[in-house]
């Protein structure tokens, strides 16, 4: 068994890296809103999230001498990165990658349709809609502008009611079918 991403890891990593790049490297106001909405969608529930965002910029943004912010420590950075690329709502347990005949690879959505509860089906629809917006965000280029950042923030905010708090989908036999000796694929 292994955990699989529904939205591929590489896609989420690209989104995170671009959000961080715009937030750290520009003064575009939409960059803060976008990274905040994305982290909230991905499960960042630290009550100090606003301060963490301020501390992300501590090394690059000058502040008044009486208002000193310490940069994030390595553990805090790792926690935010993990949250951004391994959101619980995006994980499904199933046969290991080398045992799957239908693994979509690193750029395509790993869409599940069978063996889901009605709530999980609604979750999958929300993920599909979010994925389309993520693709548009990535297509906007290495340095997304205010409109792309705003659209991603809105998509993250819209998806949050359906996805926030969702647990990873644990293995269920009715979601998978054999597809040759030692091989599996999703049930369709």
pLDDT attached to residue 67 = 59
At 114-141, the pLDDT tens digits run: 999 999 999 999 999 999 999 999 999 9
At 60-75, the pLDDT tens digits run: 555 555 557 788 889 9
Helices (H) and strands (E) in the chain, counts: 6, 4
How many Cα neighbours within 13 Å face the side chain of 67?
Answer: 8
pLDDT attached to residue 114 = 93
CA distance 171 to 155: 28
């Amino acid at each position: 068994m292994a955990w699989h991403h529904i939205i591929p890891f590489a896609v989420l990593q690209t989104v995170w890296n671009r959000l961080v790049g715009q937030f750290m490297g520009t003064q575009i106001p939409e960059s803060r809103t976008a990274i905040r909405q994305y982290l909230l969608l991905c499960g960042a529930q630290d009550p100090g999230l606003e301060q963490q965002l301020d501390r992300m910029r501590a090394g690059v943004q000058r502040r008044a001498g009486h208002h000193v912010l310490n940069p994030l420590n390595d553990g805090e950075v790792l926690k935010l990165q993990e949250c951004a690329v391994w959101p619980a709502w995006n994980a499904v347990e199933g046969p290991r990658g080398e045992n799957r005949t239908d693994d979509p690879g690193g750029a395509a959505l790993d869409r599940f349709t069978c063996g889901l509860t009605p709530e999980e089906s609604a979750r999958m629809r929300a993920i599909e809609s979010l994925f389309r917006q993520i693709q548009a965000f990535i297509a906007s280029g290495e340095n997304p502008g205010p409109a792309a950042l705003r659209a991603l923030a809105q998509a993250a905010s819209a998806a949050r009611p359906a996805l926030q708090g969702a647990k990873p989908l644990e293995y269920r036999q009715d979601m998978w079918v054999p597809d040759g000796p030692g091989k599996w694929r999703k049930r369709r």
